[in-house]
Amino acid sequence: METVQAIPPAVEALIPIIQKRTTKENLTAYADGIERLTEALEKCPNIGETDGMSEHPAIFHFFFMSSDFFICEYDKKDKMFGYAIIGGDLNNCEWGYLSLQTLTSNPYLNIDYHFEEQSIEAALYKAYPQWFNKPNSLRA
């Protein structure tokens, strides 16, 4: 892998404000994470492209404590679509649209540099098997 000299602008836009500062100060340490985000961004479906799918690709994962935002679509500007669990409240978690600017301006939120490629449904089942059905991608 090449030495990272800078974060590509489109990738930098995905990184929350405090995490971005830390990443820029330690580019070598976060090179793998920057590379993963770059690859994920290239694969990311546009808004509406995952409609009707039984499983949605988990492209990005933002988190803080018991809050998780799994993103499956992004318009490459500000609009994202995904699944949100806020404060661990599984009774009120839901699919919906999110603003990248809102996510990245939150000083407590991070984007997961090590998130495993999987479906959102698989990620939810792995984290909360008592709440979510086992998706086809995890069936033997």
How do the pLDDT tens digits run along the chain, 140 residues long? 456 678 999 999 999 999 999 999 999 999 999 999 999 999 999 999 999 999 999 999 999 999 999 999 999 999 999 999 999 999 999 999 999 999 999 999 999 999 988 999 999 999 999 999 999 898 86
Instruction: Note whether residue 41 is domain-resident.
Output: yes
What domain range includes position 36? 9-138
Rounded to two decimals, the pTM is: 0.92
Cα 35 from Cα 117, distance rounded (Å): 14
Which of 49, 48, 19 has the alpha carbon at shortest distance from 34? 19
The tally of domains found in the chain comes to 1
Instruction: Note whether residue 3 is domain-resident.
Output: no
CB 112 within 8 A of CB 132: no
Would you state the structure tokens that stand for residue 48, as one six-digit string? 């509406």
Q: How far is CA 36 from CA 1, 18, 96, 139, in A?
A: 12, 19, 24, 26
Instruction: Note whether residue 1 is domain-resident.
Output: no
Look up residue 47 and give its amino acid.
Answer: I
3-state secondary structure of 70: strand
